[in-house]
Amino acid sequence: MKLWGVTRSLVTESARPWRPPRMIESATHRWLIIGGLALYGLLAFVTVDIDPARIAEGLSRASAFFAGWLRPDFVTRWTDIRAGLLESLAMTAVATAVALLLSIPLGLAAARNLVPGPVYTAARGVLAVSRSFHEILVAILFVAMFGFGPFAGVVTLVVGSVGFLGKLLAEAVEEVDPAPLEALTAAGASWGSRVVFGVLPQVMPRVLGLALYRLDINFRESAVIGLVGAGGIGATLTTAFSRYEFESVSAILILIIGMVFGAEVVSGRLRQRLL
């Protein structure tokens, strides 16, 4: 009978549906956390300072903007729009090229299988810092340092691109086939020869593909950082917004969307050929 009771209890336990263990076992603690989060959400909502008058004013401006979106004006400010687009394209090309040149040595120095520990740590730290801040914050800093204009925008894009490309290059280097490196090491090749003949041929197609992808990102970012005075089409967009020229704003946004879409198609095909 005792064996039957044990068997019956085991069968009963196995018949129950399995449930994952609770993260917080105590029900009291769970309710305290839920109540604290609810109180925090309520206080955060109160501090937002919702003003119905401002909401109504914003809705009227939104209706004016969407009305202008249906009537894009490419003519009135075409000279400024063209200059802004050309400046954004120049900023994008220069920033991506400079970032690619800087990211190659940094990416190699951030690969654990190529360099000693202190060099690896220092390079990883540089790449982490360059990725830590949004481009808008970096642009504000460089605009304060260098003044308004495309130079501050180029430096901003370079900083963000170096962190992006350098990190992905380092990860690609750490995943290379070790056989060529071992053969070169056995033949007595120097560190530079191992990198040039054993590493770069394996990773450069991927790096060039990533650079093309970053080119797309930099063009979009050039439009955003221009809003804080870092040059490019974003400055023209800010001027049109400040003058309530929503027809010109619509034209600028349409051109940005079209150019980003076209660049995405072209760079996607180039990446397919490279990779």
Domains, in order of start, for the chain: 76-274 (1.10.3720.10)
Q: What's the distance, CA 226 to chain centroid?
A: 17
59 alpha-carbon distance from chain centroid: 31
pLDDT in tens, 6-54: 455 545 545 556 566 666 677 787 788 888 889 888 888 778 777 777 7
Q: In this predicted structure, what is the pLDDT of residue 17?
A: 64
Helices 150-174, 117-130: axis angle to 10 degrees equals 140
Share of the chain above pLDDT 70, in %: 89
How far is residue 115 CA from its own chain's centroid? 27
Judge contact between 221 and 160, C-beta under 8 A: yes
Q: For residues 155 and 142, give the distance between their C-alpha atoms in angstroms, rounded to a whole number.
A: 8
Across all residues in the chain, what is the average pLDDT? Answer: 81
Query: Residue 5: pLDDT above 60?
Result: no
Query: Which phi and psi angles does 51 have, rounded to 5°?
Result: -115, 110
What's the whole-number mean pLDDT along residues 80-100? Answer: 89
Question: Which of 174, 165, 34 minimizes the C-alpha distance to 114?
Answer: 174
**pLDDT digit string, tens, across residues 140-164:** 888 888 888 888 889 999 998 998 8
**What six digits make up the tokens of 21?**
């263990």
> If you count them, how many residues does the chain have?
275
Sign of CA dihedral 106, 108, 111, 115: negative
Structure tokens at 196: 């040039």
DSSP string, 178-230: HHHHHHHHHTT--HHHHIIIIIHHHHHHHHHHHHHHHHHHHHHHHHHHGGGTS
pTM of full prediction above 0.95: no
- Specify the DSSP class assigned to residue 115: S
* pLDDT at residue 98 is higher than 90: yes
- Where does the pLDDT of residue 97 fall: very low under 50, low under 70, confident under 90, or very high at 90 and above? very high
pLDDT category at 244 given cuts 50, 70, 90 is confident
Give the pLDDT score at 94.
Answer: 92
- pLDDT at site 8: 53
